[in-house]
């Protein structure tokens, strides 16, 4: 394992984040805080509690998960797309660095940025509402797994995209709607029976539900099932990345 190569790519990606601090860190935190103020203030005044939890506190795991999903995809997709766009990806591919090491470096940097944002949002939310984490180990586990999984997914999108507009298609048209419909701001039990059934086909439900359980020991689906679904999606994304490097899809002229 070429640790020096991994460290070099990882540090380069992290340095790019701190060079664009306003866009990379401040902007997502402000946007999520606005969600918190609007949903927590407007809807929270009408819905006092959900499953015995104050509404403002209830939506915090969902907001963190919303940021984690979108930022993991965005960071990873742009991180690998830009070298491909300017042509420097071929220098990396021709260097004595394995595909595994390239993925670890890019995905690791994207996941690190997303986790940093998630923790900042958690700290910010604690200033507004009482937060308790009843299962901190499970919370960290879901945080790491989700960031790694969707960073891998973003890596695949970055390889697939052949224009900057394509980087935004899947996050904007698929991931964000699924997150809003995945119980981020409400409990699935609040929906009519037919919509509850439909919601269980939304994979984000399991991510949000498992993550919320780590905070309040309450969830729409069992935490074990949530963990299985997360690991399953992780396996799918790993298989996709392995196929890309095995076939050279959109990497070889």
Residue 241 near residue 248 (C-beta atoms within 8 A)? no
> Structure tokens of 28?
């997502």
CA atoms within 13 A of residue 235's CA, in its CB half-sphere: 6
pLDDT > 80? residue 253: no
CA distance 166 to 163: 5
pLDDT in tens, 173-213: 888 888 888 888 888 888 888 988 888 899 899 999 999 99
DSSP-derived secondary structure letter, 113: H
User: Closest Cα partner for 125 from 171, 50, 67?
Assistant: 67
Domains of the chain by residue range: 3-247
pLDDT in tens, 34-88: 777 776 666 656 666 777 788 878 888 988 998 899 889 988 988 888 888 877 7
Residue 252 is predicted with a pLDDT of: 67
pTM score, whole prediction: 0.88
CA distance 223 to 210: 5
Summarize the confidence of residues 114-130 as an average pLDDT. Answer: 85
Q: How far is CA 36 from the centre of its chain?
A: 18
């Amino acid at each position: 394992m070429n640790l020096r190569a991994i460290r070099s790519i990882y540090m380069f990606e992290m340095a790019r984040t701190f060079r664009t601090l306003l866009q990379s860190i401040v902007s997502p935190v402000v946007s999520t805080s606005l969600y918190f103020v609007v949903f927590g203030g407007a809807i929270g005044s009408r819905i006092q509690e959900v499953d015995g939890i104050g509404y403002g506190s209830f939506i915090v795991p969902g907001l963190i998960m919303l940021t984690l999903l979108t930022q993991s995809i965005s960071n990873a997709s742009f991180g690998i797309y830009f070298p491909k766009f300017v042509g420097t990806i071929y220098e990396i591919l021709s260097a004595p660095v394995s595909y595994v090491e390239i993925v670890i470096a890019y995905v690791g940097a994207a996941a690190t940025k997303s986790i940093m944002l998630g923790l900042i949002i958690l700290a910010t939310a604690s200033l507004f509402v009482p937060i308790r984490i009843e299962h901190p180990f499970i919370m960290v586990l879901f945080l790491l797994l989700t960031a790694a999984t969707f960073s891998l997914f973003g890596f695949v999108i970055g390889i697939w995209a052949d224009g900057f507009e394509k980087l935004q298609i899947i996050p904007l048209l698929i991931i964000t709607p699924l997150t809003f419909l995945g119980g981020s701001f409400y409990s699935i039990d609040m929906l009519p029976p037919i919509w509850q059934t439909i919601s269980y086909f939304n994979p984000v439900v399991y991510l949000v539900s498992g993550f919320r359980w780590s905070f309040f020991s309450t969830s729409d689906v069992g935490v074990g099932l949530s963990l299985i679904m997360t690991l399953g999606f992780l396996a799918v994304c790993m298989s996709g990345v392995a196929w890309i490097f095995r076939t050279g899809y959109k990497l070889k002229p």
